[in-house]
Amino acid sequence: MKTTTLFKALRVAGVGLAFCAATVSSWAAETPPVQKSALVQFFEQDYLFGDWGGWRTDLHNRGVDFEFFYAGSLPSNVGGGIERGTIYQGALLMTLDLNSEKLAGYEGGTFHAGSLWLHGQKPFSDRFIGDLNKVNLVDYNNAFRLWELYYQQKFLDDKVTFKAGQLDIGMDFIVPEYYNSISSLAFLNQTFFFPTMAFNVYDQPYYPVGNHGLSSTPNASPGALLRVDFRPDLYAQAAVYDGNPDRSNGANFKLSSDEGALSYFELGYRHNASTNSAGAPGNLKLGAWYHTDDFVDEYEGTFNAFDNYVAANGIPLPPVSPGPAKFRGGNWGVYFLADHVLWLEKNRQDPALQGLTGFFRVAYAPPDRNLAELGIDGGLVYKGLIPSRDWDTLGLGLSYLKISDDLRRAQRDINAGFGSYGPVLPSADYEGVIEMNYKMQVAAWWTLQTSVQRVFHPGGRVAANIPDAWAVIVQTTLRF
């Protein structure tokens, strides 16, 4: 259902890892000023391959920045779900940024390109768990594809930003500011990055289909964005995207009126935005989205989906739908998001910003045309809990996804219609997730992370009563 989510952090313009500003670990900072060994220097450098023989610095000075980032993970279902098992999944991100001032002499311009190589055994959730909220951040179909390709220009002392090209919604909307770099990506379940609620614009299996999709990782689509920063602590932004992104290789730059358009709007407030502020930083975001395509009515469409499923699987049951499904014009949703540093161990000048951060997000979409009508997620992340491990994070996240009341009502009516046959469909309700994980910053360019997740009612009991599942994921990341 959800083809989502990589990370907002996975691009050079946004990667800018916080820990790169101070790549010396806490134990190294206490070391006497003596000549460091080659091994110590190796672990303290920003990238696995260092400065690439001076090429990286030379290119940066000329206006060219590049990044390679690799994530490799071993997701396992250790209990419940569809079946137990372990597979390997990986993602290689390659990005390039060109600075207009250094290259062409005019300020405020950036050309950005990014591509993804998604590989390994796919899929994990669909095969082992059956969940809507995919437990593994890199659980996507295998492909080598173009991701983002755009030009961005800033005006009026950086108060106005415009960008156009191949865009990913998750880079700009509905994502906590806490996820502003790879160093702060604490969770592996995809819903804690880009919420499953936002993927209501995808077609559902066996339902009458429309012609729409979501421009979100690893998919992007032609679009344009305008952002205005009224003050350092207040902004508004709006964007419009093609209504159905290319899901093959990302290089099909087509626009079609048949696919409609997807628009996002967001108003944001940043508390204690300045790094000179003594108080802890935080963010509030209020947003909405609208898609112009037609969407199948969730109640009537469930009858059609039942007939399509029965026919496709050769099940000897009579049809239940009264005829072609009804479609509703347009689709929309709203969301609210808050994240805030709740407690600082030291102060704002601490490079690691050690302490406790919390986030909360709620989203709503109408149940008459969406699989899910309400999504709530939130969590806590503590950075630097263990002495001398300033950059390590311990995270606890919870998610609740409520399935459409209209879909559940249709299931109930279908079951009632079969009478003596007994219930032929489950009763959809919700999907819940609890994730706890620990990420160890081995070096500025290397992390190791373990995530333990409990998935309640995988799939929301839309198609089957799948047992609650336990997932364990071990992941490593490299920057080079």
φ, ψ (nearest 5 deg) of residue 109: -105, 140
Q: Which residues of the chain have pLDDT under 50?
A: 1-29, 182-183
Among candidate residues 75, 189, 92, the one with its CA nearest the CA of residue 127 = 75
Contacts with 178 (C-beta within 8 Å, 6 or more apart), sequence order = 184, 283, 339, 357, 359, 381
**C-alpha to C-alpha distance for 93 and 338, rounded to whole angstroms:** 28
State the pLDDT at residue 35: 81
Omega cis (within 30) before 319: no
Amino acid letter, residue 168 = D
**C-alpha to C-alpha distance for 88 and 43, rounded to whole angstroms:** 26
Q: What distance, in Å, lies between the first and last C-alpha atoms of the chain?
A: 33
Token readout for 387 is 């002495």
Contacts with 269 (C-beta within 8 Å, 6 or more apart), sequence order = 233, 234, 283, 284, 285
State the pLDDT at residue 73: 96
**How many angstroms separate the Cα of 250 from the Cα of each of 114, 148, 388?**
11, 9, 43
Contacts with 313 (C-beta within 8 Å, 6 or more apart), sequence order = none
Task: Give the residue extent of every domain in the chain.
Answer: 12-479
State the pLDDT at residue 323: 86
187-232 per-position pLDDT tens digit: 999 999 888 888 787 777 888 877 777 888 888 899 999 999 999 9
**C-alpha to C-alpha distance for 124 and 130, rounded to whole angstroms:** 9
DSSP symbols for 222-284:
EEEEEEEEEETTEEEEEEEEESS---SSS------GGG-EEEEEEEEEEET-STT-SSPPEEE
Pairing of strands 469-479, 393-403: unpaired
CATH of the structural domain 12-479, one choice from 2.40.160.180, 2.60.40.10, 3.30.70.1450, 3.40.50.300? 2.40.160.180
State the pLDDT at residue 11: 45
Amino acid letter, residue 260 = G
The model scores a pTM over 0.85 = yes
State the pLDDT at residue 178: 63
The alpha helices in 384-427, defined as continuous H runs, are 405-418
State the pLDDT at residue 250: 58
Q: Is 60 helix (H, G, I), strand (E, B) or coil?
A: helix
Omega cis (within 30) before 123: yes
Q: Is 457 helix (H, G, I), strand (E, B) or coil?
A: coil
State the pLDDT at residue 182: 46
Residue 61: how many other CB atoms lie within 10 Å: 10
Distance of CA 150 to the CA centre of its chain: 20
